[in-house]
Structures are given as C-alpha cells and as structure tokens.
Amino acid sequence: MNDYEDILYHPHHVSPRRPPMSMQDRAAQFSAFKALTGYEEGIDEAARLVEEKLELTEDRRERLDGCIQILRDAEPDVQITLLVFHPDPRKPGGVYLPYTGLLRRVDEVAGLLLFRDGTSVPLRDIYDMYGEVFPDAL
C-alpha cells in the first residue's frame, strides 16, 4: 500500500468559518523564500558598461585651455557642445556623454562652466569642446 493511499480520494477540506485565500495573497506568503533574491539586480548591474576616465594628453589640455580662453572673451549665450565624463556612483569608472547648451559664464574659481538651463559642468570632467565660436585651428 502507498503511503498516501488512505487520503488520496478524500475530498479537499474547505473551512466553513474562513473565506478562501486569493491566489495573489497565497503567492505573497512564499515570495520571501525566493532562492535567488537580488539575482536579477546583480545581473543588470554587471551588464552596465563603464569606461575609465581618459587622461588628457598635453595637446588636448592645450586645446581645452584655448577653448576656455575663447569662452571667457565670447559673447553671452554662445552655444557649445561638450563631451563630459560622468562618474558612476556604484562602480569605478563612468561614461562620456555629450552636452549642448547656452553658456552663461566661466567660473574659474569654482572650476565650472555655468549654462542658462542651470547645468554646471566641472572643467576637470570635460574631454572635448565643439562649437562655432572655436576656430578650426584649435
């Protein structure tokens, strides 16, 4: 005789005093026992690509210094595009993203470029600058 043969054909018990639990509530009881809690988040984090911050060459540094000098003397609200390094808050490294805006002023004391939309970009994070205000020779 099978171990469960004596209960195999009995009717399913239904409590006369308590309403049946919904499938959603029943599933929620066991969600805390999920074996790989955080696994998906870990996979997503590992898949995020970051790059190291590039060291500026002497030529690039001179080019950026020349661009900043031009911006100091430029008319207000000149439009420029920057290639800016954004450090990653959770891993070493970061990403380079372009930013285009109307420059309000250069704050050399704080080391920032301040834009009309309220954005401030640290000079140390700029990798390159583009715009009609810069001569091709730079």
Residue 2, pLDDT > 80, answer: no
Tell the residue number behind the tokens 């939309």, with chain if given.
117
Measured CA to CA, the distance from residue 74 to residue 62 in angstroms comes to: 18
Give the per-residue pLDDT at 4: 79
Flag whether the pTM goes above 0.85: no
- Domain 58-130 class, CATH top level: mainly beta
* pLDDT of 74 strictly over 70: yes
pLDDT on residue 33: 59
Determine how many CB atoms are found less than 10 A away from the CB of residue 80.
Answer: 21
**Rounded CA gap, 123 and 65, in Å?**
10
pLDDT at 28: 79
Domain ranges of the chain: 58-130
> What pLDDT score does 6 carry?
79
Q: Which residue has the higher pLDDT, 3 or 127?
A: 127
Buried b (16+ CB within 10 A) or exposed e, 82-114: bebbeeeeeeeebeeeebebebbebeeeeebbb
Which residue blocks in the chain are alpha helix, DSSP H?
23-30, 39-47, 58-73
> Mean pLDDT across the stretch 120-135?
93
| Residues ≥6 apart with Cβ < 8 Å to 135 | 70
Condensed to tens digits (0 to 9), the pLDDT of residues 20-66 reads 889 888 887 776 656 666 777 877 777 788 899 999 999 999 999 99
Q: Which of 12-16, 44-48, 56-60, 119-123 has the lowest mean pLDDT?
A: 44-48
Q: Is the pLDDT of residue 80 over 70?
A: yes
What is the pLDDT at residue 36?
66
Q: Using the predicted structure, report yes or no on whether residue 1 has a pLDDT greater than 70.
A: no
